[in-house]
Amino acid sequence: MRSATPAPRERPHSATTADARGGGKAGGDGTVRGDDVAPGDDASRGDGSRVSGGRAGRRPVTSAAELERHALMIFEERGFDATTVDDIAAAAGIGRRTFFRYYASKNDVAWGEFDAHLETMRAGLAATPPDVPVLPALRRAILDFNTYPAAEADWHRRRMALILRTPALQAHSMLRYARWRAVVAEFVAERTGRGEGALEPQAVAWAFLGVAIAGYEEWLVRARADLIPILDRALGLLVDGLERSL
């Protein structure tokens, strides 16, 4: 889901991209930050064969996933705040302006294709048998939502560590969380026959979001632990009642 690198082609006329500095009214001397990295270290195709799937127009130079990889590595190496968009763009071999066509902001890179993933949770909740009570249904759906193939576990951990430990990203994540909560609230509203904006669905959504994040933070602290059991314990606090669990 995360590695769909499009068919790579060799880059003709790539001479200009080295000095790809956007913005900056400053007529200065250049301040070349990133070095001229090849856009992808994937296997390069020798011939100029046409592999395009009948799609019109110029082929993308990179992909959102590849940008995300570059960005995450630089973030980890230099820190999120100290990394400029130009750094990421240069590392990916694209211009600054192009970066913003893949991601709306520097913050958004960290979350990748969260929204698409979220849709699967919505669908999963909608498909829950009606005889499963609301809270256990949520518990199950949230666990599923956060279940990743083992191969991606390390990647996921690094991504979440970045998100949950960088203040700017913590803040920005609120907007993602809002959509996540909307999905949960929608389900609770439908199940309990209340309006989606009513207190109970919203409160439940908030509460589940909160304990889930607490679970994530616990997971990040425990070096080699599995996420799911911890998350399950956190969700259990709500499902079984806080009082009984303290």
How far is C-alpha 184 from the chain's CA centre?
Answer: 19
Residue of the chain from 69, 70, 106, 176 that contacts DNA (CB under 7 A): 106
> Should residue 163 be labelled a site residue for DNA when binding is judged by CB under 7 A?
no
Q: Give the residue with the Cβ less far from a second copy, 118 or 207.
A: 207
Q: Which stretch binds DNA (CB under 7 A): 53-61, 141-149, 152-160, 179-187?
A: 53-61
Q: How far is the CB of 36 from DNA (least distance, A)?
A: 11
Site for a second copy in 131-160 (CB under 8 A): 133-135
Give CA–CA dist 14/1, Å, rounded. Answer: 29
Written as one string, the DSSP assignment of 116-179 is HHHHHHHHHHHTS-TTS-HHHHHHHHHHHHT---GGGHHHHHHHHHHHHH-HHHHHHHHHHHHH
> Should residue 95 be labelled a site residue for DNA when binding is judged by CB under 7 A?
yes
Q: Which stretch binds DNA (CB under 7 A): 80-88, 129-137, 215-223, 226-234?
A: 80-88
Query: Residue ranges of the alpha helices (H) in the chain?
Result: 64-78, 85-92, 96-102, 106-111, 114-126, 134-145, 153-165, 167-192, 199-221, 227-239, 242-245
Q: How far is the CB of 157 from a second copy (least distance, A)?
A: 17
* 8 A C-beta contact, residue 94 and residue 151: no
> Should residue 17 be labelled a site residue for DNA when binding is judged by CB under 7 A?
yes
Distances (CA, A) of 89 to 31, 36, 59, 64, 219: 14, 10, 18, 12, 32
Residues within the interface to DNA (CB under 7 A): 9, 12-13, 16-17, 19-26, 28, 31, 50, 52, 54-62, 83-86, 93-98, 100-102, 104-107
Residues within the interface to a second copy (CB under 8 A): 25, 133-135, 167, 170-175, 178, 188, 192, 197-200, 202-207, 209-211, 213-215, 217-218, 221, 230, 233-234, 237-239, 241-246
